[in-house]
Structure 1
Amino acid sequence: MSTRIAAFGSTATPALAELRRELVTLVRTAPASLRRVHRSVPVAAVVGVWLAGTLGDAWTTLAMMSSGVSEEGNPVAAAGMAVLGVLGYVLAASLVCAALCWVNVGRPTGLYSWTVVATLTVIGCAKCWQAVDNALLWASLT
């Protein structure tokens, strides 16, 4: 058995092939999960967490940056805002969050995909925490 690690799409080790298969399955099953969001409490909860986190973070970031009471503390985000503008960067970040939410609601089929889903759920919760943290910061500065 070869021990070299191959890129996605080439001859890969069995573990990488399984990871790729499970990730493709997550993405392919996401539309069906989103269609049943009103009938599935777990899917609705995941989508709700991502919506609250993404919209809350976007709103508080735009409010603080446009009011001039704060500046971006993340140097990567500040560089992105310098290139795209604040609104452009917030929209781009929100599109990335929408893509992560899309993958997050897919049906996991194995250990790798369950790990991805769990990690993305934690990231969605972190977005909610960031929105609350931004709101508290904005309230303390105004």
Structure 2
Amino acid sequence: MTTLIHGHRTSGHGGGVTSLRAELVSAGADVVGQARASGGALRRRSPWVLLLVALWTLAIVGDGLTTVLMMGTGRFEEANAAAAFFMGLVGVAGWVLISGLICVALASLTLSRPRTTYAWAAATVALVVCLGKLWTTASNALLWANASA
């Protein structure tokens, strides 16, 4: 059962499918609202927002560029099985483009201050993805430098 407590939805015992649907709809609305709020955050020119944009740009471009360059040499193969599968379907450049667009969508979740639990969860997951892409960029660059030496 979903109830309102101080204007916030909570789920109690025995809520069933209706409650689950309501929570999923609420979560989706919160995440979409979080993404929409990123436009306002970009217009405010906050140093934190600019830092996040710079980190996301470095992560997306760095991972994409190192992946395309390394795979183009023929000396490297994709270690991530899911990425390798999709590269087989759409090519290396196609997968880099698709994953980059997904990351741009995730980046939009991190640019404004989350206001709900679901928005906080989505922003946290997105930030972890950003850190993972930064790590991958550094790992790829290190691997490429050591393999070239």
Q: TM-score scaled by structure 2?
A: 0.81
In 2, are the aligned partners of 1:22 and 1:110 still within 8 Å (CA)? Answer: yes
Q: Aligned partners of 1:82 and 1:30: how far apart in 2?
A: 34
- The CA RMSD over aligned residues, in Å, is 2.0
Aligned residue number for residue 39 of structure 2 = 31
Please point out which of 45, 48, 70 is paired with 1:64: 70
Q: Aligned partners of 1:78 and 1:55: how far apart in 2?
A: 19
Q: Aligned partners of 2:124 and 2:93: how far apart in 1?
A: 30
Greater length-normalized contact order (CA 8 Å, ≥ 6 residues apart): 1
The one-letter amino acid paired with 1:84 is: V
**Could you report, residue by residue, the CA deviation over 1:89-127 in whole angstroms, capped at 9, with x for unpaired residues?**
111111111111112213311222122212211221111
Residues matched between the structures, number = 136
Q: Aligned partners of 1:56 and 1:33: how far apart in 2?
A: 24
Aligned residue number for residue 80 of structure 1 = 86
Aligned residue number for residue 137 of structure 1 = 143
Aligned residue number for residue 99 of structure 1 = 105
Q: Aligned partners of 1:6 and 1:64: how far apart in 2?
A: 49
Which ranges in structure 1 are unaligned for 5 or more consecutive residues? none
Q: Aligned partners of 1:91 and 1:7: how far apart in 2?
A: 37
In percent, how many aligned pairs have the same letter?
35
Please point out which of 121, 124, 139 is paired with 2:127: 121
Q: Aligned partners of 1:80 and 1:16: how far apart in 2?
A: 28
Say whether 1:43 aligns with 2:49.
yes
Structure with bigger gyration radius: 2
The one-letter amino acid paired with 1:136 is: L
Q: Aligned partners of 1:57 and 1:129: how far apart in 2?
A: 9
- State the 1:7 CA deviation: 8.8
Q: TM-score scaled by structure 1?
A: 0.84
Change (3 A) 1:113 1:86: same
Larger relative strand fraction: 2
- State the 1:35 CA deviation: 2.3
Which ranges in structure 2 are unaligned for 5 or more consecutive residues? 2-13
